[in-house]
Copies of this chain bind each other. A is one copy, B any other.
Amino acid sequence: MKITQIRNATQHLSYGGTRFLIDPMLSAKGAFPGFPGTINDDLANPLTDLPLPLDQIVDVDAVFVTHLHEDHWDSAAVDALPKDLPIIVPTDLVAEGIRGAGFTDVRVVGDGLEFNGISLVATDAVHGVEAVTQAFPPEFLHVGGAVFSHPKEKTLYLVADSVWYDKISEAIAAHSPEVIIVNCGNAQAFGMGRLIFNASDVHEVHKAAPEATLVGTHMEAVNHCVLTRSGMGTYAEQHGFGDKMLLPADGETVAL
């Protein structure tokens, strides 16, 4: 497989001959305000420009959307993507939102979906520590991941926005992924704590899947993400898994 980091959680995934676009946030730099009630909310989002031309980013066979937050699915993505492009989502709740935006070929992974010879299974995620999940309605925090498998590819686990919890451990035990995409920008809801992986969460992933290659994403592109690639990379080195931790720059491709 090839994974190209685009920006934030937006990536190109070339897998089993199919070209996916994951979690498209395609707005121009500074197009929408910082997320209210989060750290650095005086910074406008996205913090950075797209590293590739828009027409190249949307030239894919399908899109995978983990959830509907603006840093994963924005109005620029709705505008730029053909309405009949297959949009693959983990759950019915995500599908509702995508269909509501006019997309006609929305496919729900749920307990299993075949797409171009690729098997997908949806996985659970929890979008924040307890102080966060207690403060917001579950529908607002709803998010899901997926495991991708194909006879000619390594098994890939796209965790999506989550903090470390038992369901991730269970998914790793059930699917033995060899590549895991980890959203590890340590996004912070003000006064509540983190919404996604911090460095210690990634360490837990590594301990549960010590042979897996971890691909870090969702960093340095939206206001409330406070863990940088440099910080994550140094932590991984200092905790003995620097060789398993990839942190591609925006525009960089890794082949796995």
Contacts and interface: CB of A to CB of B under 8 A. Distances in A.
A228 interface: yes
A17 to B, nearest CB: 36
Contact of A200 (B42, B198, B220, B235): B42
A231 interface: yes
Contact of A43 (B48, B223, B231): B231
A226 B228 CA distance: 9
A39 interface: yes
A43 B199 contact: yes
Nearest to A188: B39
A43 B237 CA distance: 11
Interface in A221-256: 223, 226-228, 230-231, 234-235, 238
**Integer count of this chain's copies in the complex:** 2
A230 B48 contact: yes
A191 interface: yes
B198 A231 contact: no
Given A220-B228, A228-B220, A228-B228, A40 B199 contact: yes
B42 A198 contact: yes
A27 to B, nearest CB: 14
Interface in A175-211: 186, 188, 190-191, 193, 198-200
- Best-surrounded residue of A40, A188, A220 (most CB of chain B within 10 A): A40
Contact of A40 (B43, B47, B48, B186): B186
Given A220-B228, A226-B226, A228-B228, A234 B29 contact: yes
Interface in A29-45: 29-30, 39-40, 42-44
A234 B191 contact: no
A191 to B, nearest CB: 5
A226 B194 CA distance: 13
Contacts of A193: 190
Interface string A76-91: 0000000000000000
